[in-house]
A = this chain, B = another copy of it.
Amino acid sequence: MSRGQTPRPATSAIKPRAPRADAARNRARIIKAARTLFEAQGADVEIDEVARRAGVGVGTIYRQFPNKDALIQGVLWSHVQPLVDAGHAKADAADPAAAFYEHLAFLAESFMSKEKVHLAVVRAGLAAAKRIPQNDAMAQSLETLLARAQAAGAVRTDISAVDLIMLIRSTLFPSYGGVVPKRVRRRLFDVVIRGLRP
C-alpha cells in the first residue's frame, strides 16, 4: 500500500512522523549510499558525497554517525552481519562436517566478492594492531559449527574459531601485496582447508 492512497486515522494524520522511524530510515539510506561509494572507491569516501547520494544533509549524517570512522564501521557491519547470521543459522545442521566446510566456502566467496570492504577490515586490523569487532563477531558465529565438526572428527581439534578467521582472511587477502587473482586465492584457501583435516 502506498502511503498517499491509504486512509490513516485522524490522530496519526496530525502527528508528525515518529522521529525514531525517521532516524532509522535515514540511517538505512546513509548506509546504503556509503556502501555503494565504499565498494566503488574504498574507505576514502567524502561525507559530502555520501550525503548527496543519500539525499540527506551532512548534519543528518553527523547526527547518526559522530565521525567518519563510525560511518565506516556502520558500513562494515552491514556487510558482516549477514555472514555472522548465516553462521549462527547453520549451528544445528544435520551434517556438521558439511555445514562447517560449506560455511567456510561461503565466507571465502563473500570476502572475495566484496573485495574493497573486506580489505578495509584487513587494513583496519593491521593499522590498529588490535582485534577488530567484525572479526570477533564472525569468529563467534563459527564457534558452534567448528565444535560440532571437531566432535565429528572432521577438523583438527587444536584450531579455534579465531584461528579460522585469521586463516581465511589472511589467505584471501594475502599480505604479499598486489592484486592476487581469485583463482590463486581459491588455491591458497584450498591449502588451508586441506590442512584443517585431522
Task: List, in ascending order, chain B residues with CB within 8 A of A125's CB.
Answer: 175-178
Task: List the one stretch of A46-54, A58-66, A84-92, A187-195 in contact with chain B.
Answer: A187-195
Tell me, in angstroms, the Cα distance from A195 to B168 when the chains sit together.
13
CB of A135 within 8 Å of the partner chain? yes
Question: Bound state CA distance, A128 and B158, in angstroms?
Answer: 35
Most buried by B among A178, A179, A180, A184: A178
Question: B residues within 8 A CB of A179?
Answer: 129
Find out whether the CB atom of A122 lies under 8 angstroms from the CB atom of B175: yes
In angstroms, Cα B175 to Cα A124, docked, is 9
11 interchain pairs, CB-CB under 8 A? A123-B126, A124-B177, A126-B175, A129-B179, A130-B177, A131-B178, A166-B175, A175-B175, A191-B195, A191-B196, A193-B195
Known pairs A169-B174, A177-B124, A178-B130; A195 contacts B190 (CB<8 A): yes
Shortest CB-to-CB span from A3 to chain B, Å, is 45
A67 within 8 A of B: no
Residues of A bordering B, CB below 8 Å: 122-132, 135, 156, 158-159, 162-163, 165-167, 169-171, 173-180, 184, 187-188, 190-197
Bound form: Cα–Cα A45–B146 in Å: 43
- Tell me whether A176 and B184 are in contact (CB under 8 A): no
How many Å from the CB of A164 to the closest CB on chain B? Answer: 9
- Give every chain B residue within 8 A of A129 (Cβ-Cβ): 177-179
Known A191-B192, A191-B195: A128·B167 in contact at CB below 8 Å: no
* Cβ A170 vs Cβ B165 within 8 A: no
